[in-house]
Amino acid sequence: MQDPQQAPDSAAPSASKRRPKPAQYGLLRAALLLACVGGTAVVGLSGMNFLSSRVEAYVPQRPAAATSSPQPSLLTARLNTQTPEGQLISAYQLLAKGEESQAFETVEALVKRQPDFSLAQLVYADLLLARSTPEAAAQALAGASEEQRERSQALRQEARLRLAALVERPPQDALPKELIGLPATVQHAIVVDTQKARLYLFQNRGQGMELVKDSYVSLGKAGVSKQMEGDQRTPLGVYQVGLRRDEAAARYGAAALPLNYPNEYDRMVGRGGSSIWLHGERAGSYARGPQSTDGCIVLSNDDMQFLADTVKARETPVLIFEHVDWVAKKDGKTPVDAQFESAFRQWQQARLQQDANALRGLYEPGLQRGSDSEAQRLAHNLARMQAHELPVQSLERLSVLPSQDLEPVMIVTYRELSALNPTPALKRQYWRQQEGRWRIIFDGVVS
């Protein structure tokens, strides 16, 4: 893991200096615009259009044409100002309205409350720097090292992503298409949009999934689409939360939830690596830049604590996509196609009836993994089924999720109650479609 990011040093005057008078606002904005890396300032939104056409200059926006689901603007979006992120963005709102003195007070209070929030420290340094003369501000910036500029650029990218998440909200009454139709047996689901550096937590409240909370996250230094150990990329695909790990708080912050990367499909197509976790920040850092981990998905400790206290191990799916396709709940159709449903029903019926011949055709031959699918074990179990020695009382399908991958893949989690064991077994299957035919490539107990 990379060391926590720190705000770049700034030759800034003391906070005890007087706040700027209204006549100095022009100078303040000019100095803020000087405080940029790569030509884009985050603080002082004046004249900058770094988010989208919805974020205009520092004057309030004119009302946009009415739509069925209008998006908020930076100035009108609702905030939870009890959180450090909400408090910081409220300062951006004040700056956009030209209320620099109140913005300064807001950021000053934030850095006292959360001194390890590097982005807040950067904004505070910029606002302090803006109180000096333009010449002093320019001199301070000219003296910044390359390392300081890189850190500053990462923090400013973090700000863009946090602000974009505020303005470009998910559509009302919509879900990621993969979550449409999930049964009540799936209590929670996590979706990560890597382009937006945003994690969405959903809860099933009886009428389908609902968005509960969304959080900024940091991802791999080299981006996404993990292929091998040490490539510093975050994997893409559908995974499951493992058993909570709290013993490494010094490194992983408030809590840690391992993911089952590489999953069984990853292994089949040759992807490698290990230790991809959802976890918090180490001591001394509230958050880090958007691409700053070795592949893990990192949240602030507050957000990670909430997540770990909420979701259920082994039964909470984590969907990691470069782009999330949101669809209206009322119009959405289950992503499970009819051919797969037919194949799954065949398997379920054959297993309940111990029909070895029917089951044999639903597994790909020569499989090397799985308590029920590894080739030798499968052959042994099928022989026992022919003798009616492996009866099951019930097979309860808990969830089925499609995976965006090289070919159509379905991941099924189910609970098996055997007549030979009073304790139900939690199991998972991976199916893939080749030449129009769905077959199982892994079937085994969830560890």
Q: Is residue 333 part of a domain?
A: no
Residue 266 has which token pair?
A: 């990853």
DSSP 379-406: HHHHHHHHTT---EEEEEEEEEEEE-SS
Question: To which residue do tokens 């001194």 refer?
Answer: 115
The answer on 311 and 272 residing in a single domain is yes
- Checking if the pLDDT of 24 tops 90, the result is no
The answer on 324 and 342 residing in a single domain is no
CATH code of residue 391: 3.10.450.50
Q: Is residue 44 part of a domain?
A: yes
**Within 10 A of 432 (CB to CB), how many other CB atoms are there?**
21
Confidence at residue 166, expressed as pLDDT on a 0 to 100 scale: 83
The mean per-residue pLDDT over the stretch 140-144 comes to 73
Closest CA to 447 of 263, 215, 183: 263
The answer on 342 and 301 residing in a single domain is no
Higher pLDDT, 107 or 137: 107
H-helix or E-strand spanning residue 145 = none
CB of 417 within 8 A of CB of 393?
yes
Higher pLDDT, 248 or 80: 80
CB of 45 within 8 A of CB of 189?
no
The mean per-residue pLDDT over the stretch 107-133 comes to 89
Q: What is the pLDDT of residues 199-211, one digit of tens each?
A: 999 999 878 899 9
Higher pLDDT, 229 or 134: 229
The answer on 198 and 132 residing in a single domain is no
At 66, the pLDDT band (50, 70, 90 cuts) reads very low
Widest distance between CA atoms in the chain: 91
The answer on 194 and 153 residing in a single domain is no
- Checking if the pLDDT of 432 tops 90, the result is yes
Q: Which residues participate in catalysis according to the annotation?
A: 279, 296
Which of residues 134, 167, 200 is at a domain's end?
167
Buried b (16+ CB within 10 A) or exposed e, 346-359: bbeebbeebbbeeb
Alpha carbon of residue 125 to chain centroid: 29
The answer on 131 and 31 residing in a single domain is yes
Which of residues 151, 167, 183 is at a domain's end?
167
Buried b (16+ CB within 10 A) or exposed e, 305-315: ebbbeebeeeb
CATH code of residue 223: 2.40.440.10
The answer on 209 and 301 residing in a single domain is yes
Residue 307's SS3 state is: helix
**What is the rounded CA–CA span in Å between residue 164 and residue 29?**
21
Higher pLDDT, 79 or 141: 79
User: Strand order in 256-258's β-sheet?
Assistant: 256-258, 277-279, 297-298
Q: Is residue 232 part of a domain?
A: yes
The answer on 178 and 96 residing in a single domain is no
CB of 412 within 8 A of CB of 347?
no
Q: Which pairing describes strands 188-193 and 174-176: parallel, antiparallel, or unpaired?
A: unpaired
Q: Which pairing describes strands 326-328 and 392-403: parallel, antiparallel, or unpaired?
A: unpaired
At 98, the pLDDT band (50, 70, 90 cuts) reads confident
Buried b (16+ CB within 10 A) or exposed e, 33-52: bbbbbeeebbbbbbebeebe
Confidence at residue 72, expressed as pLDDT on a 0 to 100 scale: 60
Q: Is residue 186 part of a domain?
A: yes
- Checking if the pLDDT of 5 tops 80, the result is no
Please provide the average confidence, as pLDDT, over all residues in the chain: 83
At 3, the pLDDT band (50, 70, 90 cuts) reads very low
Counting Cβ atoms within 10 Å, is residue 360 exposed (0-12), middle (13-18) or buried (19+)?
A: middle
Q: Is residue 17 part of a domain?
A: no
The answer on 192 and 139 residing in a single domain is no
CA distances from 181 to 176, 206, 210, 257, 330 (A): 11, 11, 12, 26, 11
Q: Is residue 1 part of a domain?
A: no
Residue 195 has which token pair?
A: 């382009």
**Which residues are paired to 241 by β-bridges?**
259
How many domains does the chain contain in total? 3
Q: Residues with Cβ < 8 Å from 140, sequence gap 6 or more? A: 10, 11, 12, 129, 132
Which of residues 328, 352, 387 is at a domain's end?
328
Q: Residues with Cβ < 8 Å from 429, sequence gap 6 or more? A: 411, 412, 414, 440, 442, 443
What's the domain range around 41?
Answer: 22-167
The answer on 63 and 162 residing in a single domain is yes
**What is the rounded CA–CA span in Å between residue 239 and residue 392?**
27
Confidence at residue 42, expressed as pLDDT on a 0 to 100 scale: 35
The answer on 275 and 232 residing in a single domain is yes
Higher pLDDT, 53 or 303: 303
Higher pLDDT, 8 or 165: 165
Closest CA to 318 of 409, 385, 411: 411
- Checking if the pLDDT of 57 tops 50, the result is no
Q: Of 26-30, 80-84, 401-405, where does mean pLDDT reach its minimum?
A: 26-30
Residue 344's SS3 state is: helix
For the chain, give the percent of residues with pLDDT over 70: 83
The mean per-residue pLDDT over the stretch 54-82 comes to 51
Highest-scoring range by mean pLDDT, 147-151, 335-339, 441-445: 441-445
Counting Cβ atoms within 10 Å, is residue 422 exposed (0-12), middle (13-18) or buried (19+)?
A: exposed
The mean per-residue pLDDT over the stretch 122-148 comes to 78
- Checking if the pLDDT of 111 tops 90, the result is yes
Confidence at residue 282, expressed as pLDDT on a 0 to 100 scale: 87
pTM (two decimals): 0.82
Q: What is the pLDDT of residues 147-200, one digit of tens each?
A: 888 888 888 899 899 988 888 889 989 999 999 989 999 999 999 999 999 999
Checking phi first, is residue 302 left (phi over 0); if not, alpha (psi -120 to 50) or beta? alpha
Q: What is the pLDDT of residues 35-51, one digit of tens each?
A: 333 333 333 332 222 22
Confidence at residue 73, expressed as pLDDT on a 0 to 100 scale: 66
Q: Is residue 4 part of a domain?
A: no
Closest CA to 241 of 285, 179, 189: 189
Instruction: Count CA atoms closer than 13 A to 414's CA, side-chain side.
Output: 21
Alpha carbon of residue 108 to chain centroid: 29
The answer on 227 and 94 residing in a single domain is no
At 139, the pLDDT band (50, 70, 90 cuts) reads confident
Q: What is the pLDDT of residues 381-419, one digit of tens each?
A: 999 999 999 999 999 999 999 987 889 999 999 999 998
Confidence at residue 71, expressed as pLDDT on a 0 to 100 scale: 55
Q: Is residue 355 part of a domain?
A: yes
CB of 447 within 8 A of CB of 315?
no
